[in-house]
Amino acid sequence: MKTASANTSGSIMDVFERGKVVKICAPMVRYSKLAFRTLVRKYSCDVCFTPMIIAADFMRSVKARDSEFTTNARDRPLIVQFAAQDAQTLADAACVVAPFSDGVDLNCGCPQRWAMSAGYGACLINKPELVKDMVRHVRNQVENPNYTASIKIRIHKDLRKTVDLCQKAESAGVSWITVHGRTADERHQSVHYDAIKTIKDSVSVPVIANGDIKYLRDVESTHQLTGVDGVMAARGLLANPAMFAGYEDMPMECIWDWVDISTELGTPFTCFHQHLIYMLERVSSQPERKMFNSLSSTSAVIDYLKNTYRTLEDLGT
């Protein structure tokens, strides 16, 4: 576990006091790792999440801790997201990462079958008493009073169940709640903004909206529709890591920032390449994408970028 020194001078909750919608990078398996968090922070992202980490594996194995959680002094504010199925394991994991992060988040939203069958993710929205207990354990066992305990959920078809879950979490001391505005069965259906608004109106803690945030204008429209305190983006940031800074299209300097950051941090080629595939998808032709996707080394990628996108105009920006 490669980590930075503790920072206990203030609370991440201060970001909600600035009167602006908080802009957050979502937890994304394989993608929201240190290098990508470093990139989006350069382009007006306020808070970043780690990818989801299975708390039991994290506590069981030093190798898992070293591979799953890497950070540095610039990587703040940082929320570590865990998948857990019991309160003590979550609290134990939170105590391990607390000196090196600003909060932990309990994943109650992953809809994948393997996660739900193992007792993780979206199945937890049907276990409000367990979620309440998990939040309380983190709050009681992490010594830093500024350390946050949040949850990320999906909604029920019967929204009363979701409101009950959120109110129980609030009573246990949850710091904020992120709401992905779809049920566990929905994938590409429209986000239920009315449901997010109902949840926001039912609790007094900050609420974050998640789902279909592809441009900066989506941040404002979601805020207007729901009244939320923050907005979390996933795929929109993969396609355009500069989105939160107001760029409609990904700027060429963002490509070179990614090359520099990932090289500096020793990002494995597969991850380095895959991020660029996402970043170039909107701005390159099909033949260009086919050629780029076939590249198999960092040097080949850099040569291709230099030869293909010499100027900002080449990217159409």
Q: What is the DSSP track for 175-186?
A: --EEEESS-TT-
In this prediction, residue 5 carries a pLDDT of 44
Which sign does the torsion angle of CA 231, 66, 74, 269 carry? negative
In this prediction, residue 6 carries a pLDDT of 45
In this prediction, residue 282 carries a pLDDT of 86
Q: Say whether 27 counts as a known binding-site residue.
A: yes
Residue 235 sits in the same domain as residue 95: yes
49-90 pLDDT, tens digit per residue, is 999 999 999 999 898 898 899 999 999 999 999 999 999 999
* 6 assigned to some structural domain: no
Residue 228 sits in the same domain as residue 285: no
Which sign does the torsion angle of CA 151, 152, 155, 159 carry? positive
Q: Say whether 180 counts as a known binding-site residue.
A: yes
Distance CA 248, CA 244 (A): 9
Length of the chain in residues, anyone?
Answer: 317
Residue 228 sits in the same domain as residue 293: no
Q: For the chain, give the percent of residues with pLDDT over 70.
A: 94
Where is the domain boundary, 188, 218, 245? 245
* 2 assigned to some structural domain: no
Q: Say whether 28 counts as a known binding-site residue.
A: yes
In this prediction, residue 157 carries a pLDDT of 95
Q: For the chain, give the percent of residues with pLDDT over 90.
A: 84
Q: Say whether 273 counts as a known binding-site residue.
A: no
Where is the domain boundary, 245, 266, 288? 245
Is 248 or 5 the better-scoring residue by pLDDT?
248
Classify 109 as helix, strand or coil. coil
HSE-CB of 200 using CA atoms within 13 angstroms: 25
In this prediction, residue 86 carries a pLDDT of 96
* 114 assigned to some structural domain: yes
In this prediction, residue 63 carries a pLDDT of 87
Q: Give residue for tokens 């909107």.
A: 282
Classify 255 as helix, strand or coil. helix
For 303, residues 6+ apart whose C-beta sits below 8 A from its C-beta are none
Task: Please confirm, yes or no, whether 110 is among the known catalytic residues.
Answer: yes
Q: Give residue for tokens 């994408």.
A: 289
- CATH code of 130's domain: 3.20.20.70
Residue 24 sits in the same domain as residue 152: yes
* 274 assigned to some structural domain: yes
Residue 202 sits in the same domain as residue 270: no
Average pLDDT over every residue of 293-317: 78
Instruction: Quote the mean pLDDT of the chain.
Output: 93
In this prediction, residue 22 carries a pLDDT of 97
HSE-CB of 3 using CA atoms within 13 angstroms: 17
* 268 assigned to some structural domain: yes
**What is the extent of the structural domain holding 270?**
252-314
In this prediction, residue 202 carries a pLDDT of 98
Chain centroid to Cα 190, Å, comes to: 20
Name the band, by pLDDT with cuts 50, 70 and 90, for residue 313.
very low
Where is the domain boundary, 191, 214, 245? 245
Residue 229 sits in the same domain as residue 261: no
pLDDT at 19 over 90: no
Number of domains in the chain: 2
Given the residues 25, 45, 48, 110, select the one marked as catalytic.
110
Q: Pick from 111, 185, 95, 187: which is nearest to 152 by CA? A: 111
pLDDT at 316 over 50: no
Residue 168 sits in the same domain as residue 41: yes
Residue 262 sits in the same domain as residue 214: no
Least confident of 95-99, 241-245, 279-283, 292-296: 279-283
Residue 21 sits in the same domain as residue 123: yes
100-109 pLDDT, tens digit per residue, is 999 999 999 9
